[in-house]
Amino acid sequence: DAKTTQPNSMESNEEEPVHLPCNHSTISGTDYIHWYRQLPSQGPEYVIHGLTSNVNNRMASLAIAEDRKSSTLILHRATLRDAAVYYCILEYGGAQKLVFGQGTRLTINP
């Protein structure tokens, strides 16, 4: 299964944009890039996913590098409720499954 690398932790301020990076240099052409977040004592929550093109939804934007070896999750205006562990995951092309990496713990300062 292809692996992802994320910073262990990041900190940002409320109402500012947040850019969460993810490296996935061994990605193959059919691997989807997924982002999930997990708040304490809850299950992971879907944020966004994409294959090659940048994606936007009501929660966030996903910017995918042209060579697909990295991606960035963008929260346009962080709130305190966005404090969570964010996981960047490759959905392996050969099988429908998500294999989680270590994730980034995001802290939002008021």
Question: Which positions lie near another protein, rule CB under 8 A?
Answer: 32, 34, 36, 41-46, 49, 51, 87, 91, 93, 95-103
Q: Minimum CB separation from another protein for residue 63, in Å?
A: 18
Residue number with CB closer to another protein (5 or 13): 5
SS3 string, 24-79, reads CCCCCCCCEEEEEEECCCCCCEEEEEECCCCEECCCCEEEECCCCCEEEEEECCCC
Nearer to another protein, 71 or 103 (CB): 103
Length reported for the chain = 110
Nearer to another protein, 51 or 65 (CB): 51
